[in-house]
Structure 1
């Protein structure tokens, strides 16, 4: 962005900056440059003003108290007016107006100043200001004040985004830690309990054997729930790199891994139909749909899978889903989906992680899960590789 372009259309320059792929620190530095060039002043500073201090977060100044990381007394700055009033302040020459006797004139030596408050999550974070030691020939206009206010609002949005991403990373780290605890600290004693239960079953008969069967069944369900929780920890994230997955093959592989009892599978997919997906997650989606069909449709349920390059559907002839679960799946309402089991929540997470569309149609004659638009958008990594 050339200085002439910025001065003629600063909002266009800001729009170009918004569309750039720079990181947050680079965006902030560029935003300060946009403001300086538009106003025709030498210096720009983004400050944090909490706890009564003035800390320089980003700046165009390379040395001195207003360099990056510098801290000065807020009460000795022009920015104190902005922080206290919450309004944009601007003047071309402090000695020619109401601020001629302001103590900031002596402590800073700055005669030209424009500043606006920066807010993050509804609270004052600090200020974005532009200044010069020498006065400006032209007065600061209302349009220039308004632009600085808009620029400060944009900076606040960038800081919010950075803050929220940091919080999300922290949450993901805690989730990974929890998943590790589940995988190790819960699975190990559970495996021991299952092993000793199976040993005990070999030495008892009658009612004791029946009780142990129930214990073994409960332990198995706990094992499945732990596995499903670990799946959710991964399936809830966005899918990155994808490969073309043979639909017929992944369906049959998933069916073979599920305890289907007397259920039957019919696969009616187009020849050579392929889905652009994370193969492991796609297989888990089918596994959980098949498990749901068998568990809630009965041991003799008939399952049919249809599909082509645009999407696929899994249908059964069971009694259908409760209406609230059908609505929850369509609306991606996680709390209500969980009430019917974690398996369907895994399905919803895999669909949303891929950016696909899910439709559920259920009634007394069966349930049909339809996933569409599976290849509607080319993954970013493939588009970049093609360029």
Structure 2
């Protein structure tokens, strides 16, 4: 088993073992030193106050010097140094010590130290101090990474709560408003009917925007496990879900062409491309989808996109894409989430979205089954 097969706790424990072996001492400890206390986070010590989870007064430890100065401290025999009368010698019983600060995001988290009750016959060298410093820096990087992962997980949980609020607290009353507007529209004619048509259109747009926001919350992340999707089937399913009016769809996809993708996200991509073609190309626009094992294209014969939109999509400029509508942002997020390549060409004769390298990576679950 390599270090890449281990989780963060196991890798840190392995670092402690490596340090002990390198220095030839009995103990290795990763500590947290906030709030004037010394809390043992990981160690090989199995019992006593310095076992894992133990908490002692920082002022009674050798590590307080490291925390105060930020410098790596090391000696083979405390009694032969200026620390011979230090309180830590009595409270810890440790004669041999090497410790370095562990920093996270520029702040001192604690220390990584190695020690022994018995003095070491050989002095602690600069090379050994540097080694412990590097080891402490590596441990800090591991802890920092885990902290950021935890923060990301917390953000995702808050995002899930937010999307739940959108789905429930906004969609439910909106559905009621749409329903009652449709009923009222059947009972009136003339100008009131025209007003209700505008209300109905606005409510429909609100429903679409809410749906797109929910999609963005899910589709902004990288795609994990994928499956083989029938490309033509998902194209036709997407077309059926969009209000295409008098638009026409032409499909020219190689037989039995499949794409490694998340099926729902792939369908959302086609839905938003079709909706974009119809909204900007007119009710009688013609949309053509071609594809093979390398990728697919969605082209229309509409008036074309503004150059600023094409530039924003090509440069993956999220802020500018967002300003031109959520639909194209969904397209960009789905493409980037799969790790695909997107090319956009647009002129007065129409617009062409080309997605490449759709089968460049094998799905995770297939690798595991081999």
TM-score by length of 2: 0.96
Match 2:101 to one of 117, 120, 123: 117
Q: How many residues align?
A: 370
Question: Structure 1 residue 58 and structure 2 residue 32: aligned?
Answer: no
Q: Which residue of 1 aligns with 2:357?
A: 373
Q: Shift in Å at residue 154 of structure 1?
A: 0.8
Query: 1:23-102, aligned counterparts within 5 Å?
Result: 23-102=7-86
Deviations 1:51-80 (A, max 9, x none): 111111111111111111111111111111
Q: Which residue of 2 aligns with 1:359?
A: 343
Q: Shift in Å at residue 247 of structure 1?
A: 1.5
Q: Shift in Å at residue 328 of structure 1?
A: 2.4
Match 1:196 to one of 165, 177, 180: 180
Q: Which residue of 2 aligns with 1:4?
A: none
**SS of residue matched to 2:221:** coil
Q: Which residue of 1 aligns with 2:216?
A: 232
Query: 1:1-387, aligned counterparts within 5 Å?
Result: 16-17=2-3, 20-386=4-370
Give unpaired runs (5+ residues) of structure 2: none
Q: Shift in Å at residue 340 of structure 1?
A: 1.4
CA RMSD of aligned residues (A): 1.5
**SS of residue matched to 2:74:** strand
Contact preservation (8 Å) 2:294, 2:358: yes
Contact preservation (8 Å) 2:49, 2:56: yes
Which segment is superposed worse, 230-239 or 366-375?
230-239
Q: Shift in Å at residue 39 of structure 1?
A: 0.9
CA distance in 1, matches of 2:271, 2:155: 28
Which segment is superposed worse, 359-368 or 104-113?
359-368
Which segment is superposed worse, 85-94 or 345-354?
345-354
Q: Shift in Å at residue 225 of structure 1?
A: 0.9
Q: Shift in Å at residue 332 of structure 1?
A: 2.7
Which segment is superposed worse, 257-266 or 147-156?
257-266
CA distance in 2, matches of 1:376, 1:195: 46
Contact preservation (8 Å) 2:227, 2:363: no
CA distance in 2, matches of 1:322, 1:39: 66
Q: Shift in Å at residue 333 of structure 1?
A: 2.5
CA distance in 1, matches of 2:72, 2:309: 52
Q: Shift in Å at residue 46 of structure 1?
A: 0.5
Deviations 1:147-201 (A, max 9, x none): 1111111111111111111111111111111111111111111111111111211
CA distance in 2, matches of 1:86, 1:328: 46
Q: Shift in Å at residue 331 of structure 1?
A: 3.0
Q: Which residue of 2 aligns with 1:9?
A: none
Which segment is superposed worse, 56-65 or 255-264?
255-264
Runs of 4+ in 1 over 4 A off after TM superposition: none
Contact preservation (8 Å) 2:37, 2:58: yes
Q: Shift in Å at residue 138 of structure 1?
A: 1.2
CA distance in 1, matches of 2:195, 2:288: 37
Q: Shift in Å at residue 295 of structure 1?
A: 0.7
CA distance in 1, matches of 2:29, 2:183: 72
CA distance in 2, matches of 1:166, 1:120: 14
Q: Shift in Å at residue 218 of structure 1?
A: 0.4
Q: Shift in Å at residue 216 of structure 1?
A: 0.6
Deviations 1:95-153 (A, max 9, x none): 11222222211221111111111001111101000000101111111111111111111
Change in Cα spacing, 1:192 to 1:305, as seen in structure 2 (3 Å) is same
**SS of residue matched to 2:199:** helix
Give unpaired runs (5+ residues) of structure 1: 2-15
**SS of residue matched to 2:13:** helix
CA distance in 2, matches of 1:41, 1:352: 50
